[in-house]
Structure 1
Amino acid sequence: MECSQRLLLFCVTIVWIFASISGKPTLENEWTYWKQKYGKTYKDKHEELNHWKIWLDSYKYVQQHNNRTDTGFIVEMNFLADQINIRSPIQYNNVKTDVPVTKVQDVPDSWDWRVKGAVGPVQNQGMMGDVQTIVITECVESYEFVKKGQLEGLSIFEVHDCCVHSRLEVDNAFKCIHDIGGLCSEASYPKSVGRCANDSCDADVQVMGGETVAQGDEQALKAAVYKIPVMVLVDASHASFQLYRSGIYSEPACSSVRLDHALQIVGYGTMKGVDYWICKNSWGVDWGDRGYILIARNKGNMCGIATHATYPV
C-alpha cells in the first residue's frame, strides 16, 4: 500500500512539473481550486490522498465524457467528485396495478408542476441521507397544493419517525401517513429523530393512502405525473448520475430493478425529439441543473424510473 501511494505521488508530481512547463493549469491547481470552492478539508494527508485518487478518477471521467458527442448530457466536477458512490438497494414490492389514473389521450405532451406552484424548494440531505423520507414528504406537500391550491412545508422528521423506520424501505408510506392521521407542519413537529411524536401537534394535511403506477408503464406514469407529482425509485449508482450537470440523462449501464435512490417527478417534456422526465433531487441546488435532472423518457424504463412509482391520494 505504501509503495503504491508513493508511486502515485511520484506520477502526480511528474504530471504537475510537465503541466507547469507547458504553461497549462496543473492538476495541483485544479485540486486546490476545487477544494476551496467546495470548502473541502481532510483530517490528515492519508485521508486527503484517498480522496485525491477518487477525485482524479472523476476528473478523467468528466474530461472523457464531455468530449463525447453521443451522450445527450454533460457532467461536471461537483462537490461529490471526491466521493465513492456506494449505495444500498431500496426494498420495494413488485406491485402491478391496472388502476386508471387519467386517460393517456387526455394528457398534454409536456407538463411542469413547478410553474404551477406545486413544488417546494430543493432540499439538501447529502448523498447518503434519508432521501425517501424527503421525497415522500414533498409528494404530500404537492398533493395538498393540487387539492387545495396551497403549498405548505410539512414535517420530514414526522415521516421519518412514524413511517419510514428504515431508509431502505418505502412501501406503504402514504398508507402510514393516513393511519397516523396525517402530517403536521414543519414548524410544529419536534426536530428529533427516533420516536414517533405526532401526538404533539395537529395534522395539517391528511391523505387517504397511496397509489402505485403499473410497473414499467411509462405511459401510465405520464398520466399519473399530469395528475400529481410522483415519487419514483431509480438506479443512481453511476458516476454519470453523481456528476450530472445538464442535458437528458441516459446511462446504458443503469439497472431497472436494482434501485437505490428516490426522486420526485414533477413534469415531463421533449427536447430536440428526445422525451424526458423532470426529476427533483435532494442533493441541493449546487447539484445538477439547480437541483434537478432530466431523465430519458420512453427509453426502455431508463434507470428503472417506472419500476416503482407511487403517489398519495
Structure 2
Amino acid sequence: MASLFLVLVLVTAFDPGFAYVLESETKTLKWPPAYHLKGDAIDILTGVIKPFEAWYSDKLNRSRVDYYGGTVKHYIVGETDEKYGKQFVVNPVTNEEQTNVKVCKEKDFDGPATNFLGSVTDFEYQGQDTYNDRVLDMWKYYKNEEDSEKVEHMLYVYQDADGFDIPVVREVKTSNLWIGTLKDHTVSRYYDFSKPAEADLDYTLDKDCNETEVSSALMEKLHLSSDVDDAFASYMSRHNKNYDDDQELRKEIFKNNWRRVIEHNKKNLGYTLTLNTFSDWTEEELDNLRATRPSRDHVGSVPFPHTEEEVEELVQELPDYYDMRIEGYITSVKNQGSCGSCWAFSTTAAVEGALARSNGGRDLDLAEQSMVDCAWGFDNMGCRGGQVEGSFKYILKHGLPTQMEYGLYLDEMGNCHRDNMTSTYKIKGFAAIPPLSVNAMKVALYKYGPVTVAINANEALMAYNSGIFFDPTCNDSRPNHGVAVVGYGKRDGVDYWIVKNSWGEDWGEDGYILMSATANNCHLLENAYYPIV
C-alpha cells in the first residue's frame, strides 16, 4: 500500500493533469438544503433582465420567489406526499378606481417546493477559474445530439464552511443544430447567500394573502407509460426540458400529445401538427396561457363604415392575396411567455400595424407590458386574461408607450407607471366587424389594417405546424385566445386568413398560422375589431 501511495505522489508531481483527473472524479456538487439568495436572470436573446429573491427549505417543503423587488411574489407550499401542493401568487392590480393594489391568488401546484438552484445531475468538474477576483470551482454539463441540439451549462460555485456548494453564476446555452441557430442563452447571477428565516416562507404572514381564492381542483394523478421512452427523451433534449419531481406527469401528457400528432399527420387533412414547447404542459398551464375572453356586446367605439351591399361591391375590387407582412407594416413575432397576456399582444399588434400603414411603413414596438400593468379597469386582469373590446377601450383612453420608454416585457404583472411616459400612441377609435362575414373581414384588412380576433385555441391548434388549419371541433368550445389577422389568401380554392400569434417564432410557420375561412373556423369571425388611427 505504501508503494502504491509513492507511485501516486510521483505521478502527480510530474503530471498535474493526473491530479486534476483524481480531483474531478472525487468532487461532487451538493446544494444546501435551505437557503435565501438574491440574483438576476438575464435572457441574452430577448434582453429581459429579471431580478429575483428566493427562499427554499427542503425540511419545510416550502419555497418562495419574488420578482422585481417584490412586485410579484410566488409562495409554494408542498404537501406531505410531495406530489402536489399549493401556490400563492401576489401581484399588483390597476383599474380605473385604484392603482397598484396587491391581490393574492391561490392555485394548485404539481410537485414539492421548488429548488430554484436546479438539477446538477451529470455535471463534470472543470477545475478552477477567477471570477470578480475570486477563485471558483467550475462545473460543466454538455449534451450534443447529432444533427439535433446542443446544450451547454457552465456553473461557477464556491464551498461554504459546511461543505455545501454556493452558486455564483450559471450560464445556459441551447443551440438548434438543424438550422444552426442559438435557441436559448441565459445567464443567472447569485449573491447575498444566507440561511432562510421560516417567517419569510410563510404566506399567511403576508398581509395580501389573508384572503385567497382557489383557482382549480388538483389534477388527477397520471401513471407512467413505458412505450414512449425514446420519444420523450428526444423531446426533452430538443426542447431543453428539465424536470424536478413531476417527470412522470409530464411524460404522460407528452405521450397523449405524441400519439395524437402521429395519428393526425397520417390522415393528410391539409395541415400538419408537431410536438412543441407546449406538448408537456398541464391543462391549467395551457388555460393560463390562453386567457382571452369573448367580448360581451361586440360593439366598437364607432360603427363599421360599410353596409352589407357596399361590402359585396368593394370585395370585387380586392386582390385574391393580401399580406401586410410584405408591405412592411407588421412587427416581428413576439412571445408572451407563460403569462396569459394574449389579449394585450393581439391588440398591440393591430395598433402597431395600423400606425405603420399611416406613417409610411415605420414600425413602432409598443409596450404590451403597459397594458398588463395598467388596464385592469377595462375587463382585463394582467396575466390572468382580458377582452379585446376592453383592450381597445383602454388604448383609446390611455394610449400605448413604446417598449423602449416603458420598459421590456416582464412575463409578469408589474407596477403601472404610465404617468411617467413622455409620449403615448393613441387611436381615434375602433370598429367591430360584422360577425360571420368573410367579405367584411377582407375589406377591413385591405382598407384599414390588422384585425384583432378572439379564437378558440384547442389542443390541435396548440400543436399546429404548417398548412391551412381547419378543425370543426374547434367551435365546440368558446374563444380563449387573442391573435391578430394580418392578411388573407386562397390555396386550392380554399380561402384562409394569415394570423400572427404571440408564442414566438418557433411555433407554427415562423410564429404564424394559416386559418381556414370556412364555417367561422374557431370562432374567428365572431369577435373581430380593428383600430382607427
Query: TM-score, normalised to structure 2's length?
Result: 0.51
Residues 292 and 343, structure 2, Cα contact 8 Å, conserved in 1: no
Question: Counterpart of 1:240 in 2: which secondary structure?
Answer: helix
Out of 263, 275, 294, the position equivalent to 1:64 is 263
Residues 350 and 484, structure 2, Cα contact 8 Å, conserved in 1: yes
Out of 107, 110, 128, the position equivalent to 2:318 is 107
Q: In the alignment, which residue of structure 1 is the partner of 2:489? A: 269
1:58 CA displacement: 0.7
Asked which structure has the greater CA Rg, the reply is: 2
Task: Name the amino acid aligned to 1:61.
Answer: R
Q: In the alignment, which residue of structure 2 is the partner of 1:231? A: 452
1:37 CA displacement: 0.9
Taking the aligned partners of 1:174 and 1:240, their CA distance within structure 2 comes to: 29
Query: TM-score, normalised to structure 1's length?
Result: 0.85
Task: Name the amino acid aligned to 1:105.
Answer: Q
Could you give the per-residue CA deviations for residues 136-189 of structure 1, whole angstroms, max 9, x where no partner exists? 111111111011121111111222233353223232422322222x32211111
1:276 CA displacement: 0.6
Q: In the alignment, which residue of structure 2 is the partner of 1:29? A: 230
Task: Name the amino acid aligned to 2:232.
Answer: W
1:233 CA displacement: 0.5
Residues 212 and 309, structure 1, Cα contact 8 Å, conserved in 2: yes
Question: Counterpart of 2:404 in 1: which secondary structure?
Answer: coil
Taking the aligned partners of 2:239 and 2:453, their CA distance within structure 1 comes to: 29
Give the percent of matched residue pairs that are identical in Structure 1 and Structure 2: 29
Question: Counterpart of 1:290 in 2: which secondary structure?
Answer: coil
1:89 CA displacement: 6.1
1:249 CA displacement: 0.3
Residues 133 and 159, structure 1, Cα contact 8 Å, conserved in 2: yes
1:77 CA displacement: 1.2
Query: What is the root-mean-square deviation of aligned Cα atoms in Å?
Result: 2.4
Distance 1:232 1:63, change over 3 A: same
The 5 A counterparts of 1:79-228 are 79-85=277-283, 86-87=286-287, 90-95=293-298, 98-100=304-306, 103-126=314-337, 128-149=339-360, 150-163=362-375, 165-166=380-381, 167-180=385-398, 182-191=399-408, 193-227=413-447, 228=449
Out of 274, 283, 286, the position equivalent to 1:76 is 274
Could you give the per-residue CA deviations for residues 193-235 of structure 1, whole angstroms, max 9, x where no partner exists? 4443222112242211211101121211111111201101001
Distance 1:117 1:124, change over 3 A: same
Taking the aligned partners of 1:257 and 1:168, their CA distance within structure 2 comes to: 17
Taking the aligned partners of 2:430 and 2:250, their CA distance within structure 1 comes to: 42
Task: Name the amino acid aligned to 2:466.
Answer: S
Question: Counterpart of 1:187 in 2: which secondary structure?
Answer: helix
Distance 1:89 1:257, change over 3 A: farther
- Point out where structure 2 has 5 or more consecutive residues left out of the alignment: 1-82, 84-219
Distance 1:151 1:5, change over 3 A: closer
Taking the aligned partners of 1:255 and 1:91, their CA distance within structure 2 comes to: 13
Question: Counterpart of 1:206 in 2: which secondary structure?
Answer: coil
Question: Counterpart of 1:205 in 2: which secondary structure?
Answer: coil
| Greater percentage in helix | 1
The 5 A counterparts of 1:288-303 are 288-297=508-517, 299-303=518-522
Residues 256 and 304, structure 1, Cα contact 8 Å, conserved in 2: no
Question: Counterpart of 2:244 in 1: which secondary structure?
Answer: coil
Residues 229 and 266, structure 1, Cα contact 8 Å, conserved in 2: yes
Question: Counterpart of 1:29 in 2: which secondary structure?
Answer: helix
Question: Counterpart of 2:525 in 1: which secondary structure?
Answer: coil
Out of 248, 267, 277, the position equivalent to 1:49 is 248
Residues 500 and 511, structure 2, Cα contact 8 Å, conserved in 1: yes
Residues 388 and 454, structure 2, Cα contact 8 Å, conserved in 1: no
Residues 213 and 310, structure 1, Cα contact 8 Å, conserved in 2: yes
Residues 94 and 215, structure 1, Cα contact 8 Å, conserved in 2: no
Taking the aligned partners of 2:437 and 2:257, their CA distance within structure 1 comes to: 34
1:132 CA displacement: 0.8
Task: Name the amino acid aligned to 1:144.
Answer: L
**Greater relative contact order, per chain length (Cα 8 Å cut-off, separation 6+):** 1
Taking the aligned partners of 2:275 and 2:266, their CA distance within structure 1 comes to: 14
| Greater percentage in strand | 2
Question: Counterpart of 1:267 in 2: which secondary structure?
Answer: strand
